[in-house]
Chains A and B, each alone.
Chain A
Amino acid sequence: MPNAPQSSIFPRMMSPPVPSAAHTSITLLVNGAPRTIPAGSTLGDLLRSLALDARLVVVEHNRVILRERAGYDTHVLAEGDTLEIVHFVGGG
């Protein structure tokens, strides 16, 4: 995302969404539901916005399992991406 601002993600996250501006936001399918986030967001940004601890979840991006958590903050998301965010729950 060469046009994405280089400053911290948080100011953009806090600003009100601009629904019609396709170039400033993208829509993903996250755990089966559409979710709109600022264009240029990384996977790390998304997890923080969802208040998820990256150490406790596993992410599959467009059917590819991401095994290296260290790469989350450089893993840029794109319009139409499909994400599955899973964790361990009780089971037998």
Chain B
Amino acid sequence: MTTLASPSTTHTQPREQPLVIAGREFRSRLLAGTGKYVSNEVMVQAIAASGAEIVTVAVRRVNLDRTAEDGILFHLDPSRYFLLANTAGCTTAEDAIRYARLARAAGFNEWVKLEVIGDGDTLLPDTAGLIEATRTLAADGFQVLAYTNDDLITALRLEEAGAAAVMPLASPIGSGLGLLNPFSIRTIKRRLSVPVIVDAGVGTASDACLTMEQGVDGILMNTALAAASDPVRMAWAMRHAVDAGRLAYLAGRMPRREIAVPSSPTTGLLG
């Protein structure tokens, strides 16, 4: 009989280990983006429903001719959520480093979701720039969560460069194509010591569940919630799916068989 970290009972869901990134514990394994919602009200409700503790934000120029306050901090309580600034839109290591340092100067934390985009069509990363920026920012005291492709070698190099977590994609950003390469994601998870958070590509609850079943530490999603017809309802679905996928991974699935095996006794049948 195997020994579980915390025994399962029939009455309560087992209490699992928290997600730990750079020594900081989080209960939720769902990280949520804040972009592309139809309104700030829906965004706030969906993120609350998702149970996310870590929420990503982007760094942009203040619109000086603004008619209304469009800063996210007018809507999202920074004391309730852990703000993870991204470097979305950056195409060079130099740009990404500049954005990361601007974000740090906001004074919330020294974490960054690092993006160095190499191609506007696929939004796939410039892996050389990504590794370079990771090394520079990690040496500068940042906790770098690096958005990357599903390539093992890049993931290993990011870990070596000092990334606090590596964030391979399930499929391209905003595509909703789901988990295209479960094998790659499993391999990255198996080979890395730092947390592996799948970032981008999940489209619906089954995608999130299947992704978590690969054993990864969490999922960051944005468009799957923001572009759902009912973002708040989808946020609940994703919350359950991430939870279910994690539980299923920890529970250990049954072996696959190519033949049927009866579940009911083959003895005691009527003569």
Contacts and interface: CB of A to CB of B under 8 A. Distances in A.
A91 B34 contact: yes
Contacts of A31: 61-62, 64
Given A50-B64, A58-B105, A60-B102, A90 B72 contact: yes
B151 interface: no
A78 interface: no
Interface residues of B, number: 36
B73 A88 contact: yes
A34 to B, nearest CB: 12
Contacts, number: 95
Interface string B209-247: 000000000001011000000000000000000000000
A57 B35 CA distance: 19
B102 to A, nearest CB: 5
B260 interface: no
Interface of B: 33-37, 40, 43, 56-62, 64, 70-74, 83, 85-86, 88, 101-106, 173-174, 200, 220, 222-223
Interface of A: 30-33, 35, 50, 52, 56-58, 60, 65-67, 84-92
Given A57-B62, A87-B62, 19 more contacts: A50-B64, A56-B74, A58-B102, A58-B106, A67-B104, A84-B102, A85-B62, A86-B60, A86-B62, A88-B58, A88-B103, A89-B59, A89-B60, A89-B70, A90-B33, A90-B35, A90-B43, A90-B72, A91-B222
